[in-house]
Amino acid sequence: MLNALATEARPGVVPAKAALVIRPRQEIQRLMRAEASERAAEQTPEELIAAVAEQRDREAFIGLFRLFAPRIKAYLMRQGADPASAEDLVQDVMLTVWHRAGQFDRRKAAVSTWIFTIARNRRIDTLRRIRRPEFDPEDPALVREPETAPDAHVEASERSKRLHEAVATLPKEQESLLRLVYFEDKSHSVIAEELGLPLGTVKSRLRLAMAKLRAALETLE
Amino acid sequence: MIPTHHPSDDYLIAYAAGSLEEPLSLVVATHLALCPRCRKEVERLEALGGVLLEDEAAAETATDERALDSVLSRLDAPAPIAPGPIAPGPIATGPIATAPKPRQAAPGDLRVPAPLRDYLGGGLEQLDWKAHKGFDEAELLSDAPGFRTRLMRIKSGTAMPAHTHRGNELTLVLTGGFSDEHGHFLRGDLAEADASVKHQPIADPGEDCICLAVTDAPLRLTGPVGRLLNPFLRI
Of the partner residues A65, A99, A131, the one whose CB lies closest to the CB of residue B89:
A131
Q: pLDDT at position A105, please?
A: 92
Name the amino acid, one letter, at A152: A
B 180-199 residues with CB below 8 A of A? 188
What DSSP string runs through A8-27? HHSTTPPPPGGGTSPPPHHH
pLDDT value for A130? 75
Q: Which of B49, B187, B104, B58 is nearest to A143 (CA)?
A: B187
- Distance (Å, rounded) from C-alpha A90 to C-alpha A65? 10
3 state DSSP class of B212: strand
| Helix%, strand%, coil% for chain A, nearest 5 | 70, 0, 30
Map B73-109 to HEC letters: HHCCCCCCCCCCCCCCCCCCCHHHHCCCCCCCCCCCC
SS3 B138: strand
Q: What is the pLDDT of residues A43-53, one digit of tens each?
A: 899 999 999 99
Q: Residue B32: is its pLDDT beyond 50?
A: yes
Please compute the mean of the pLDDT values over residues A11-33 and round it to a whole number. 52
Per the CB < 8 A criterion, the answer to whether B61 and A78 are in contact is no
Mean pLDDT of A103-108: 91
Smallest CA–CA distance from A218 into chain B, residue:
B44
Residues forming beta bridges with residue B209, ordered by sequence position = B154
Q: How far is A200 from chain B (nearest CA, A)?
A: 11
Residues A159 and A127 in one domain: no
The yes-or-no verdict on residue A31 having pLDDT over 70 is: no
| CA A144 remoteness from chain centre | 29
Question: Which DSSP state fits B233?
Answer: -
Is the alpha carbon torsion for A74, A76, A79, A85 positive or negative?
A: negative
Among A131, A165, A181, residue at a domain's last position: A131
Is the pLDDT score of B36 beyond 70? yes
Of B7, B11, B27, the residue nearest B211 (C-alpha): B27
**B:18-47 residues touching chain A, CB 8 A cutoff:** 18-19, 21-22, 25-26, 29-30, 32-36, 39-40, 43-44, 46-47
Q: Residue A30 has what DSSP assignment? A: H
| For testing contact with chain A, the best of B15, B44, B48, B149 (most A CBs within 10 A) | B48
Phi, psi for residue A142 in degrees, rounded to 5: -65, 135
Instruction: Give the residue from chain A lying closest to B174, CA to CA.
Output: A141
Average pLDDT, chain B: 80
Percent of chain B with pLDDT over 90: 46
**Domain presence at residue A211:** yes
Q: Is the pLDDT of residue B108 over 80?
A: no
Is A164 domain-assigned? yes
Domains of chain B: 116-229 (2.60.120.10)
Confidence category of residue B104, pLDDT binned at 50, 70, 90: very low
The verdict on residue A40 lying in a domain is yes
B99 touches chain A (CB under 8 A): yes
Model confidence at B220, pLDDT cuts 50, 70, 90, reads low
Bridge partner residues of B202 (DSSP): B159, B179
Does any CB of chain A come closer than 8 Å to the CB of residue B67? yes
Q: Contact A170/A209 with Cβ under 8 angstroms? A: yes
Based on the fold, state whether residues A106 and A163 are members of the same structural domain: no
Confidence grade of residue A219 (pLDDT, cut at 50, 70, 90): confident
Write the ipTM. 0.80
- Share in percent of chain B as helix, strand, coil (round to 5): 30, 20, 50
Nearest to A207 among B9, B113, B188 (CB): B9
Residue A97 is predicted with a pLDDT of 97
Task: Look at chain A and report how many structural domains it folds into.
Answer: 2
Are B80 and B63 spatial neighbours (Cβ–Cβ below 8 Å)? no
For residue A12, being part of any structural domain is answered with no
| A116 and A72 assigned to the same domain | yes
Q: How far is A58 from chain B (nearest CA, A)?
A: 8
- Angstrom CA distances, B78 to A8, A47, A59, A211, B93, stand at 53, 24, 20, 45, 18
Residue A26, in any domain of the structure: no
Q: Within this chain, do residues A170 and A122 fall inside the same structural domain, yes or no?
A: no
Q: Are residues A194 and A116 in the same domain?
A: no
Distance CA A103, CA B100 (A): 10
pLDDT digits (tens, 9 = 90+) for A174-206: 999 999 999 888 888 889 999 999 999 999 999
Q: Is the pLDDT of residue B196 over 80?
A: no
Cβ separation A74–B57 shorter than 8 A: yes
Q: Which residues of B touch A122 (CB under 8 A)?
A: 83, 92-93
Q: Are residues A48 and A121 in the same domain?
A: yes
pLDDT (tens digit per residue) in B48-95: 999 999 988 643 555 678 888 889 989 988 876 655 433 333 333 444
CATH at residue A61: 1.10.1740.10
Report if residue A113 sits inside a domain: yes
Calpha distance B166→B160 (Å, rounded): 17
* pLDDT score recorded for residue B202: 93
Residue A5's pLDDT band (cuts 50, 70, 90): very low
| Structural domain range at position A161 | 154-221
- Comparing CA positions, the residue from A102, A53, A99 lying closest to residue B71 is A99
One domain for residues A126 and A177 = no
Predicted pLDDT of residue A196 = 95
- DSSP bridge pairs for B177: B186
Answer yes or no: do A54 and A125 share one domain. Answer: yes
Contact across the interface for A99 and B118, Cβ inside 8 Å: no
Same-domain check for residues A173 and A86: no
How many helices (H) and strands (E) would you count in chain A?
Answer: 10, 0
Residues in A touching B88 (Cβ below 8 Å): 131
Whether B46 and A117 lie within 8 Å, measured CB to CB: yes
Domain membership flag for residue A10? no
Cβ atoms B212, B26 nearer than 8 A: yes
Report which secondary-structure segment, H or E, holds B186: strand B183-186
Question: Quick one: A214 and A122 in the same domain?
Answer: no
Do the domain assignments include residue A8? no
- Using left for φ > 0, alpha for ψ between -120 and 50, and beta otherwise, residue B111 falls in alpha
A131 and B44 in contact by Cβ < 8 A? Answer: no
Give the integer Cα–Cα distance in Å for B28 and A181: 17
Write out pLDDT tens, residues A136-161.
Answer: 988 989 998 865 555 556 788 999 99
Interface contact B111, partner A, CB < 8 A:
yes
Same domain, A43 and A119: yes
- pLDDT recorded at residue B94: 42
Q: Which of B45, B53, B68 to mutate to test the interface with A (most CBs of A within 10 A)?
A: B53
Smallest CA-to-CA distance from A124 within B145, B102, B14 is with B14
Taking only the tens place, the pLDDT of each residue in B154-191 is 999 999 877 777 778 999 999 999 999 889 999 999 99
Residues A125, A187 within the same domain: no
Q: Residue A11 pLDDT more than 60?
A: no
Q: What percent of chain A has pLDDT over 70?
A: 77
Q: How far apart are CA B69 and CA A166, in angstroms?
A: 36
Separation CA A41–CA A66 (nearest Å): 10
Instruction: Say which CATH number the domain at A184 has.
Output: 1.10.10.10
